Structure formats: C-alpha cells, structure tokens
Amino acid sequence: MPNPIKPEKSVVTTCAYCGVGCGFKAETRGEKIVRMIPWKEGKANHGHSCIKGRFAYDYYNAPDRVLTPLIRASIDDPWKSVSWEEAFAYAAGEFKRIQAKFGVKSIGAVSSSRCTNEEIFLTQKLARAVLGNNNIDNCARICHSPTQFGLTQTIGAGAASQHFDSILQADVIMIVGANPTEGHPVFGSLMKRRIREGARLIVIDPRKTETVESAHCKADVHLAIRPGTNVAILDSIAHVIVREKLYNEAFVHARCEVAEFENWKALVGDDKYAPEVIGPIANVDPADIRRAARLYAGGPNSTIYYGLGVTEHSQGSTGVMCLGNLGLSCGMLGREGVGVNPLRGQGNVQGGSCLGSWPHVFSGYRFVTDHATRSSFEAEWGVTLDAEPGLRLPNMLDAAVAGSFKGMYIMGEDPVQSDPNQHHVIAAMKNMECVVLHDLFLNETSKYAHVFFPGSSSLEKDGTFTNAERRVSRVRKVIEPLAGLQDWEITVKFMNALGYELSYDNPGEVLDEIARLSPNYSGMSFALIDQIGSAQWPCNKDAPQGTEVLHREKFPRANGLGTFMLTDYVPTAERTSDRFPLLLTTGRILTQYNVGTQTRRTPNSVWHPEDVLEINEQDAIARGLQDGDWVQMSSRFGQIQLRARISERVNPGVVYTTFHHAKSKANAVTSDLSDWATNCPEYKVTAVDVVRIRVPTGTASLEAARLEAAE
Amino acid sequence: MAQTNSPTQGAEMPVMALDRILSMANQIGDFFAPYPPERRAEGIRNHLRTYWDPRMRDQLLQHIAAGGAGLAAPVIAGAKLLQDEAHAKPGYYGPPKA
Amino acid sequence: MWHEVRGLKDDVDLGTPPRDGPPVSLEIDGQPVTVPAGSSVMLAAATAGRAIPKLCATDMLEAFGSCRVCLIEIEGRNGFPASCTTPVAEGMKVKTRSEALTRLRKGVLGLYLSDFPRNEIPGGWSEFHETLKAEGITSHPYGEGGANHFDARVDDSNPYFLFDPTKCIVCSRCVRACAEVQGTFALTIDGRGFESKVVASQNQPFLQSECVSCGACVQACPSHALVEKSLFDGEYKHA
C-alpha cells in the first residue's frame, strides 16, 4: 500500500462539534467517508481544524448505531424493532392518550444544539402548533440561556457582538470562564496568533488552564478566582473603572441610558466592591484586580470572550450582565477588535437560541405573550397558539417528579447524563408514561424511554447551523441516512402522525419559512449561502449578505441605547462546610466532546480514556492521596468514584473534573441550584469531599467501560 | 392578553414541588434587591409574567394567599402585582424601566 | 492584518499569504498583473495564471525559501531568487521559465527524487508527485547507492495519521503549520544538513508529544509523508 487512495468525491459541509462551526470538505469513496479536510474558504476556520472535526467523524459508522425504530410499553420491557410507520403511530397514540387524560400541557419537547436550525424550528413548531402548548426548550437552557437573557438586558442582543476575525484587531483580550484552546480550539489558535503578535491577555478562571500559559502565550493577569465569585470579581473590576474614572464617558453619553449608568456607578463604586474587600472573598490579589481593570479599560481595543464558567452559576445571568456593563462603560462595543462574545459550546447553540426552541419566545427572541408576533405564526401555521410561556426543561423534570408532566419528545439529547442532579432527572424520567427519544445511539436516557427514533448524523442530512459568531453555514448531506430518514423528515412525519398535515420537499423550504417569520433571518436561504459561503445574522433587506459586527450605530433595544443593570453579588447557596470542604468545578477537554456520544466512539478516547479528578497537592497530602489513586467524591446530592490526578492547575480548596464519560457520572454529584433568571444549572460550583478508596466498587464494570471506550 | 384553554389549568394538582417554586422566586427577588422598592416589585412581576408558566405563577399566588411563608417580602409585593392587569405593559416584559 | 486568513481560496494555492497593501503592478512573463504591496512574486505569478512550481511554500504559511524549486529571474537583478521570499515591486519584470531555470529546477527536483522511495513514485498524487509530473522529472542522475533515508521508521503512534520519514523532504511545512497555524510548537527539525529530520517534541512518538492532533501538519505536508491513515485500505507498508 505505497500510496494513499484518492477520495472520489468531496462535499463542503459544517462541523458537528463545537460552536466554532468550521467548514470542512467531506471526502468519500463509495458511501464511506475517508477524510475531512478543513475548508480554506470557511470563514470561521480559514482552513484550520482540530482533532474532533478533522478526525473524530467515524462515530456515524459505530457498530452500536441504531438503525431501526424501537418501541416498548414499559421501560422494564426489552426493545422491539418496528417499522417507521408503527413507531410514529405508537408515539402519536401515546401522546394523544396522555393529553386526553392529563391535559394539553402534560407533554413537552426538547431540541438539541446538535440539530440543524431547520430541525430545531420544526421541533418548536411541533410543540406549539401540534401539541398545542409552549413546553418547548433546548439544551442551551443548561449552557448559554443566561447569555441570551443577560446580554439582551444590557446590549439588546443575546449573541456575540463580533465575528471571530475581529480578535485579530484586539489589543487586550479578556477570557472569562472559558478555555478556548481546549473547548474552541480553532478559535483558540486564532487567539494565540494575535497574542503572539503582542495582544495582552487577561484570564479569569479558577483553573490554570492551557489558555493561561502555553508555548509563546502567557496571560498578563490570571485571576484564579474561587468558584462562584464571578460577579464579585467583575463588580470589583467595574469598581476600579468607576473610582479611577477609566470609563468612556463620551461613549456612555452618546450610546447608553445615562441615568442607569449613574445608578450602576453608585452600586459598583461602593466600598463593598473595592479590590481589597473582594480580593479575599475571591481568593485573588487585589493588585491583580486593579491591573486587570486598567488593562481592559486601557484598550485601545479590548474584547471579552466568555464561556460556561460565567453562565453556569446561580448568578449566571448576572455575570453576563456584568460583562455587558463593562463593555458599555468602556465603550468596547460597536467596532472591530472589541465586543462581548459568548463562546458557544455546541455547533448550533446559537441556532437553538435563535429559532424559538424556548418556552417564552418565538424565533428571533419575540415573546409568545406578544399578540402581533403570535398572530404572524398563527397565520402561517393555521392554528391558534398558546399565549402563555410554557415549562423550561428543568421545570418539565420538576413537574414530572410532581406528577403533572407525563410525556416528552427529546431530540438529540441525553438529559440523564448531561443534566444536573442525576437522581432527580432519573426520578422524573421514571415518572413519565411516554418518553420519545430521537438519537443516533441508545444512551443513559434511553433506559427510561418508550420510543426510539433512529436519527441521522450531520453527515447524513441537509440544513444549516448557526455558530458562535452568528454565522449561518450549510450542513450538506455527504452520505445517505443510515436509518433511512433525515432528522427533519422524522420530525415532520411525527407531526403528520399526530394529525398535523404539512410537508416540505427539502429543508431549504423550512429555512424559507424561518425567513418569513424571523426578522434577523429574513434574508437567509440555501441559495444565498450556496452563493456566498455563509452569512451572519442579522441578514435582511438592510444587510443582504449579513452583518459581521453588531451595535455599530445603536443597540437593538426599544430606544436604541445600551443600558446598565444593577449586578449585586449574591453568594451561591452552595457553600463549603466541614463535611464538604472542597469546591468542585467542571469543564471540557480537547479530545472529548460533552457527554461523549460521538467522541467516545472514536479513537479520541486514546487521549482521554476516563474522567479524572484534578486536586491540588496540598489537599491531596491532607487526604493521603497519591497521583492515580481511586477516590470517592461526595456531595449533598450523591457520590462518584474516579481517579485522582495531583495538579498545580487547581488551587487548594478547588477540585476539577470533566463530564465526558457516562460511567463516571459526574452529574450524580452536581447540585440542583440554578441561575435565578433562566434555571441554567450551577454546574460550576458544588461543595464536595474526596476520600481515598482502595478499589472502586464495581471495578469490573469500570474497567470494562474504559476498555470499551478505548476500542 | 388571551388566556390558554388548558384542561389542567386551575386543576388541584400542583405543577411542581412548592419549595422549588419558592426558592426560584426568592432568587429572583435577590437579583432585584439593589433597585428601589417600586422598580424592584415591577422587575419581579415582569420576570414572573414573562418567563414562568402560568401554573407556576398560580401556585406562587395561592401560596401567597395562604400566608406566603418562606417568601421574602419584596417577592410577595412583586408577585401580587400579577393580579392587577394595570401593570401589564403590552410588548414590554424586560427589566424594570427607569 | 486579517487578509492573510480571509483572502484564502479553496481551489488555488497562492503560495504565500494574501496581503492587503496598496496596489503594485508588475509583469510576469510579459503579462501585466496588479497585487497588493507585500505580496510575493510567487503570489503575483499565481494570480496572473503563471503558477510557479514550489514545494515548501503554501499560502496558509509565511514564506520560508528552503526548497529552491520556485526560482525565478528578475530583469536587472543578478542570480535566481526564490519567488516565495521575494516581495513584488512596482514595474518589476519577472521570468518564470527559461532554460537556466529549467536546468536548476531539474537538478533540485532530481535530488529530492533520489532520496524518495522509488517504488512509491507511480500512483502518487501528493503535491510532490504532481510537481514531478508537471516538470517532467522521471529520473535522476545520482545513482542508487548513495546516502538515503529509506530505512527510517514509520511513526504510526497517532490513531489518525502516520509519519513516514522516508517520504519527508524536510520542507518544514509541518513544523511551521504547528507553530503559525495551530500555535502549539510541537514539531521541530532535529539535526543539520543531511541528518535533518522532523521530530515531535524531544524526538518522541507523535502520540507522546505535545501534539494536539489538529491535523494542520498533515494538511500542510506536500509529499504524503504525513498522511491520514483513513486513506489506506489495510496495513501501511512500503511497496
């Protein structure tokens, strides 16, 4: 085999992993994908890639891929393979029976950021137009819902203000609760390129991440805060900006609500947010808080990128507002090189947010309570729609436990593994009479499901994704769907089975419907994207090829002005105690992706075969721990067993783990606390203790799991 | 504002556990604490109106009618504004307005 | 500032990164072309449809000037500068083809060919193979018994790609991609002269090195020395 075999065909598509949304050329021989080459014209990646998109695509072909629909009357029964028609009829019959017995609102739907815009839109259409309620949510609920809320309050748009390339004009880069070189690697490379050119770097993160220090890239200031003190530290940075008058008065007077600015100044300017007060609370040097504030305010171009380390807190939305406040006060919005930007975790989190998979808003973030908006959807869909907000995903689970919620259509999610307080989620699942799961593989949630629709991977369907910079790119079918139907077809046929007549020739017609009903997407079409490669919303009459930088002239709020929210620090109820003296925080690693559904089925597990617990040497010594020892970690909610790794990346008092492997059940210990505004779970702070154990209970199964993962 | 026609609306079964409702409501109250009393109440009211399922709001109001034990006073004041449609601001359910 | 990444095109390799300067006009083989200041002669030639053969240059990386295949002649200047490292100048007259250039390129490509596994020339489709074909190089005058790297061991430690040093032409594209594009700096050139070789980290297998398996080096490699395992059926061994 001296020379490689040349691929026969190549299709340009968009990566299914993180929120960077890299363009790839998927190359095939016959019906087999043999290579993914990063697309040089991909505007999010410019020909670069990471291990996941470039190499970890073979999961689509994994031996345990489910290829036929499955049903069962009880979760104690074995699965029965059935035809598509039978599966649709059974699921529809059950949903109708449940609604007749328990009411219209006893059923809901959840879509996934792993799905296309078209599929997400169809799923909310299914909930609103067919099930007749607003019990529709998506997995952004548990990651970036505070972004939508917090940014909308301050700057009017719950999305990144910039395009990725904007960072190449930044002088100061502030990264808060994100680790781009692991979580968003291709953007991380772009960021490093700019840092090598001389940009200064501020990192706010409890952990000394790879972003803090790597080859030719070192943070000028690293605020290694105690988990849960984001709002305190950001208010303290604001305090320095206010007290030292580092704010941009001209910008504030031209572009913001000045009275609210004054209110904000009074709040954060109070002595209680002085670095000397907050430093000890957040466990950082007050001088570093001042340095960070001066660097950021000094610019001239300062930009903020943030991740789930900001949002996944009981004050997640408040933390996002703090960032909006900072950007406004220093005039770091509305041009290239600046901005406030969420780094979205999954490929289509932004799309999930835009397309109305929320219980309170339609696509384009317009409230279901608004008569005019609702009427436009009623006219298009030919039904009367519920005028009241529905249940959020965590509330659906709460309601299921209470017995008022009985059925769920889950498209491309695994809430049992990914949602917090696993015991509560399982109790909710067990209490439902019909859980319809639509996925590629049986997973933790399928143990409690009654119907399984075998879905199509993103290599097997057409549609669009919206990445973290609001860029809408095409997902193109590379091979035929292995189970026979593309995901959007499955949802449409399920709607048909439920008695709602509709059909589309292709998902481009769904995008056309989205465009008709959503002002920010009104110019989007398959034809436009095919022609110009991709387009960032807003894409409409005024911006026919999309918009790279938001807020240039005004903010999309009623009066066009940005505003300041009062962001008092409220410590989380999750506190350390004698019994649980350590704070656990969680994160992702480069080679694995979220709950691992895809990456665990690829050789990526060679790099990360299991989740480990990072612990500081000081805490390890106090517990008699050595590197590699098995430990039991317990919280108020549960306990798990995993291996310890002694690490200088975490400070004393803090431990860290990833949540990629189902067997380690990281979410068995995470708390039931959530963001005050959006119920986004507080994954990033759990009080725990760690003790050494000799041999893990059920070692055999753990070893088996690791072997299985490594295969 | 049109009302929904859910058969379960007003039914005796609570939509979810009461302690969950109370802790969520108190968290909302905590956020609006730095605002002056009138804006604080309006902020709480707007948030509940815009983001909460009506059955959750009903459950909260029923608990308030029964004494409101465990709820912070400003939360009760804000939630009570839900009962008076005069506070409805069509098309606007954002943060408290200046 | 960002034209280097934003100006890339899918189906053409301009050879050096696109630039964003004021326009500069010059002639390539008598044909007028205008490109931004700061562009290389190689980019100007590619833009004019007179692409110059190259091995160590590609438009995702800064010019390096090591392979000596892209030599040109410039009117009024001595010698045969590399077109990748030569910036354009107003009124410059460039010749990309001449007898002398053909002879020089043939010599250089023959040297590369002499240290490339002979049986793996037929059927190859890498940039190196395509360049040999385009320049009509099928043999070299250096005999068979000379020093070579044919016994170098394949590193197949990474699950996704392998490194076969026998096919490596030490152009440093992988090393530069790891630094400039990815920013990891996992690769380097170890040794000097004929002993030069690409190594990961401290001469470790790729899997044990700092390599993050982003694939930038594999994409940059012009000779399929770094290549995706998925492109092969069955075991990898030399013909």
Domain architecture of chain C: domains with CATH: 1-97 (3.10.20.740), 101-135 (no CATH), 161-231 (3.30.70.20)
How close are the terminal C-alpha atoms of chain A, in Å? 24
- Do the chains contact at B54 and A389, CB–CB below 8 Å? yes
Is A526's pLDDT higher than 50?
Answer: yes
Name the segment(s) of chain A with CATH classification 2.40.40.20: 582-710
- Do the chains contact at A196 and C183, CB–CB below 8 Å? yes
What pLDDT band is residue A701 in, cutting at 50, 70 and 90?
A: very low
In this prediction, residue B8 carries a pLDDT of 43
| Residues of B in Cβ contact (< 8 Å) with A153 | 94-95
> What is the tens place of the pLDDT at every residue in A15-70?
989 999 999 999 999 989 999 999 999 999 999 999 999 999 999 999 999 999 99
Q: Touching check for B70 and chain A: CB below 8 Å?
A: no
If you average pLDDT over residues B78-87, what whole number do you get? 85
Burial class from Cβ neighbours inside 10 Å (0-12, 13-18, 19+) for residue A638 reads middle
Q: Touching check for B18 and chain A: CB below 8 Å?
A: no
Is C187's pLDDT higher than 80?
Answer: yes
How close are the terminal C-alpha atoms of chain C, in Å? 46
Give the nearest chain B residue to A99 (CA atoms): B7
- Just give the CATH number of A70-138+348-465+483-499: 3.40.50.740
- Do the chains contact at A676 and B1, CB–CB below 8 Å? no
In this prediction, residue A179 carries a pLDDT of 93
In this prediction, residue A698 carries a pLDDT of 58
Question: Chain B closest CA to A104's CA: distance in Å?
Answer: 6
For chain A, how are helix, strand and coil distributed in percent, rounded to 5?
A: 40, 20, 45
Give the nearest chain A residue to C12 (CA atoms): A40
Name the packing angle between helices A422-430 and A393-402 (round to 10°).
Answer: 60
In this prediction, residue A260 carries a pLDDT of 95
Average pLDDT, chain A: 93
| Residues of C in Cβ contact (< 8 Å) with A192 | 183
> What is the tens place of the pLDDT at every residue in A130-155?
999 999 998 888 888 899 999 999 99
- Do the chains contact at A47 and C219, CB–CB below 8 Å? yes
How close are the terminal C-alpha atoms of chain B, in Å? 24
| Residues of B in Cβ contact (< 8 Å) with A360 | 50-51
In this prediction, residue C239 carries a pLDDT of 59
What pLDDT band is residue A708 in, cutting at 50, 70 and 90?
A: very low
| Residues of A in Cβ contact (< 8 Å) with C120 | 2-3
- Just give the CATH number of A582-710: 2.40.40.20
In this prediction, residue A163 carries a pLDDT of 97
Q: How far is CA A357 from CA A366, A440, A696, in A?
A: 12, 21, 41
| Residues of A in Cβ contact (< 8 Å) with C232 | 1, 4-5
DSSP state, A128?
I
> What is the tens place of the pLDDT at every residue in A364-408?
888 998 899 999 999 999 999 999 999 999 999 999 999 999 999
Is B41's pLDDT higher than 80?
Answer: yes
> CA–CA separation, A507 vs A119, rounded Å?
8
Question: Chain C closest CA to A703's CA: distance in Å?
Answer: 21
| Residues of C in Cβ contact (< 8 Å) with A216 | 183, 185
Question: Chain B closest CA to A577's CA: distance in Å?
Answer: 21
In this prediction, residue B87 carries a pLDDT of 65
Q: Which of A483-487, A703-707, B43-47 has the highest mean pLDDT?
A: A483-487
Is A418's pLDDT higher than 60?
Answer: yes
Q: Touching check for B7 and chain A: CB below 8 Å?
A: yes
> CA–CA separation, A24 vs A534, rounded Å?
13
> What is the tens place of the pLDDT at every residue in A618-667?
999 999 999 999 999 999 989 999 999 999 999 999 999 988 877 777 78
Name the segment(s) of chain A with CATH classification 3.40.50.740: 70-138+348-465+483-499
Written as one string, the DSSP assignment of C162-203 is EE-GGG-----HHHHIIIIII----EEEESSGGG-EEEETTT
Instruction: Give the strand pairing for A407-411 and A434-439.
Output: parallel
| Residues of C in Cβ contact (< 8 Å) with A46 | 5-6, 8, 60
- Percent of all residues in chain A with a pLDDT value above 90, rounded to a whole number: 84
Are the C-beta atoms of C95 and C72 separated by less than 8 Å?
A: yes
Is B7's pLDDT higher than 50?
Answer: no
What pLDDT band is residue C113 in, cutting at 50, 70 and 90?
A: very high
User: Pick the residue with more confidence: C192 or A701?
Assistant: C192
SS (H, E, C) A134-156: CCEEEHHHHCCHHHHHHHHHHHC
If you average pLDDT over residues A287-297, what whole number do you get? 98
Is B1's pLDDT higher than 80?
Answer: no
Is C166's pLDDT higher than 50?
Answer: yes
Measure CB to CB from residue C213 to each of A39, A55, A188 and give the nearest one. A55
Q: How many helices (DSSP H) and strands (DSSP E) are in chain B?
A: 4, 0
What pLDDT band is residue B90 in, cutting at 50, 70 and 90?
A: low
Interface predicted TM-score (ipTM)? 0.95
Pick the CATH number of A145-342 from 3.40.228.10, 3.40.50.300, 3.40.50.720, 3.40.50.2000: 3.40.228.10
Structure tokens at C124: 């190859």
Is A327's pLDDT higher than 80?
Answer: yes
Structure tokens at A288: 């570093």
> CA–CA separation, A294 vs A292, rounded Å?
6
DSSP state, A40?
T
Are the C-beta atoms of A575 and A281 separated by less than 8 Å?
A: no
If you average pLDDT over residues A162-169, what whole number do you get? 97
Give the nearest chain A residue to B36 (CA atoms): A263
Name the segment(s) of chain A with CATH classification 3.40.228.10: 145-342
Is C1's pLDDT higher than 80?
Answer: no
Task: Provide the residue type at A250 as one letter.
Answer: A
Is A703's pLDDT higher than 80?
Answer: no
> CA–CA separation, A378 vs C208, rounded Å?
59
